[in-house]
Structure 1
Amino acid sequence: MNLQVILGNFALILFVAMCVTGVIWFLDIFYFAKQRRAAADVALAAFDGRNAKLASEGIKTDNTSRHAIEAALLRQPTWIEYSGSFFPVIALVFFLRSFLYEPFKIPSSSMVPTLVIGDLILVNKFTYGIRLPVLNKKIIDVGDPQRGDVMVFKYPKDMSQDYIKRVIGVPGDKITYENKRLTVNDKPVTYTAKGDYLEDEGLEYHQLFDENLANVQHQILNNKNKRTIELGQVDNFPNREACVYSYEKFTCIVPEGNYFMMGDNRDNSLDSRYWGFVPNKNIVGKAFFVWMNLGNWKRIGGIH
């Protein structure tokens, strides 16, 4: 699933804006402000000199305009004033979304019923380690993704796109998906039927199940009219040799430093079954909270 932020590569845009406004703010403090002060001192000295001469000639002077002259000469140009006002705000937003929490919007249905179209979610950026903004390079190791986590990551085939799926397999795991049932390291995942689910986007019913993956219980959807795997949609991807495919079954051994991801809407999700594993370097963070859905306020709450 493609996650859309407001403006394309927003992290890069924010970084550039912070740098530009920060440089202007810095230059104003240490250079432009001093220039304005020096110009004001020269003008005020001339003003005081003229007044002193007039006073010596017995002419009454008006000093009220002195303050207006000083204020006008010390006033920041509009472009500097706006930069100085925006810089701390932009810097704070950049820090928060780079190291703490980042918002995303869900635009499609591959994670239904866990996440639906229009959900605005928060992603924890430090659960899986502290990473450099824009470059997304880990500099401090905090933790690793666990089976059952809902994770945001850079799509391996296009690093400019952010995707969201559920972690099914961690490095070294043997993942088998047969007749729409998961087996992890030869241990079958347990399922409980919950009846039918009407998917709003396709206006069709799906089978709803509770899936217990590594003690993380969540809901998934199956479409009984679709095959377990559509072989024609499977790409050639790195470590493709680690997987064996047929129409009703596939098995993959997750390589070191990689993760196997699947959508909860199992038959309406292009995921690791089709485009391969997610390298550790692609990780963005852990999705943990729906903070808004303008079409359904009841959606607000934690992500399981």
Structure 2
Amino acid sequence: MQRVVKELASWAAYIVSAVLIGLAINTFVFQPTQIIGCSMESTFYENDKIMVNKLIHTFGSVPEYGDVVIIDSRVNRSRTLTDDLTDSLKYNAITSMITKEKQDILWIKRVIGKAGDTLEYIDGKLYRNGKVIEEPYIKEPMNYFGDKKVVVPEGNVFVMGDNRNSSCDSRIIGCVPLDHIIGKYAFKF
């Protein structure tokens, strides 16, 4: 009997270890997720499944221009380690297949401006620091940017969807703090 108990305890320890390792990978390294909405068409479509590289968030790296990133749209609140843990469980491709719930907190967008950049929309074109941004990935020309210049503050980025006319992005919520960048698009599956 004692041998059976030891064997069960050993198996339980292996299972708990595997679950904890899986949770750590999902939270800090890679996470599968599903595209919701049309804001990134023609790059991604509703229900596309992608893998998110979360090392950019884990190590506090700054994304490059044109990088496709996943952001926490709740920019007016601080982001915590608890958010990292709970969001990775609530908002991933596996959970959304099981629960069928749509979330609207984590958004996928493209980095258009970084700290210190000045962005303007003039005569149908988007300018960064006085130069037109070449954007072959956008679905159609943008109809709205606003009447003002945007200067991206230190520690923030400015993001937009590729489907500019159907995207909630930095034009609505403002610049995104770097700690609200959850990860970067890695690949589709």
TM range (shorter): 0.7 to 0.9
Do 2:124 and 2:141's aligned partners in 1 also have CA atoms closer than 8 Å? no
Partners of 1:178 and 1:228 within 8 A in 2:
no
Deviations 1:234-269 (A, max 9, x none): xxxxxxxxxxx43xxx42000000000000000000
Q: Does residue 184 of structure 1 match 2:82?
A: no
SS class of match (1:76): helix
Q: CA shift at 1:103, angstroms?
A: 1.1
2:172 to 271, 274, 281: 274
Aligned length: 163
- Runs of 4+ aligned residues of structure 1 deviating over 4 Å after TM superposition are 77-82, 157-160
Q: Is 1:123 the counterpart of 2:52 in the alignment?
A: yes
Structure 1 position 90 matched with structure 2 position 23: no
Q: Distance in 2 between matches of 1:258 and 1:174?
A: 13
Post-superposition CA distance 1:7-33 (Å, at most 9, x none) = xxxxxxxxxxxxxxxxxxxxxxxxxxx
Q: Which residue of 2 aligns with 1:219?
A: 137
- The one-letter amino acid paired with 2:30 is Y
Q: Which sections of structure 1, spanning at least 5 residues, go unmatched?
A: 1-71, 132-139, 191-210, 212-217, 230-244, 292-304
TM-score, length-normalised on structure 2? Answer: 0.75
Equivalent positions of 1:32-111 (< 5 A) are 72-76=1-5, 83-111=12-40
| Greater length-normalized contact order (CA 8 Å, ≥ 6 residues apart) | 2
Distance in structure 2 (CA, Å) of the matches to 1:153 and 1:117: 17
Give 1:102 deviation, angstroms: 1.3
1:79 is displaced (CA, Å) by 8.6
Tell whether the 8 Å contact from 2:158 to 2:170 is kept in structure 1 after alignment. yes
Identity of aligned residues (%): 31
Distance 1:154 1:179 in 2: 31
SS of residue paired to 2:23:
helix
Deviations 1:96-150 (A, max 9, x none): 2233211111011100111111111111122x35x2xxxxxxxx45x42111000
**Cα distance 1:275–1:78, how it changes in 2: closer, same or farther (>3 A)?**
farther
Q: Which residue of 1 aligns with 2:82?
A: none
Cα distance in structure 1, aligned partners of 2:49 and 2:64: 23
Q: Distance in 2 between matches of 1:99 and 1:185?
A: 34
In structure 2, list runs of 5 or more residues that go unmatched. Answer: 80-86, 88-104
TM-score for the superposition, normalised by structure 1? 0.48
Mapped pair 1:153 → 2:71: yes
Computed over aligned residues only, the root mean square deviation of the Cα atoms, in angstroms, reads 2.6
Cα contact 1:170–1:259 (8 A) shared by 2: yes
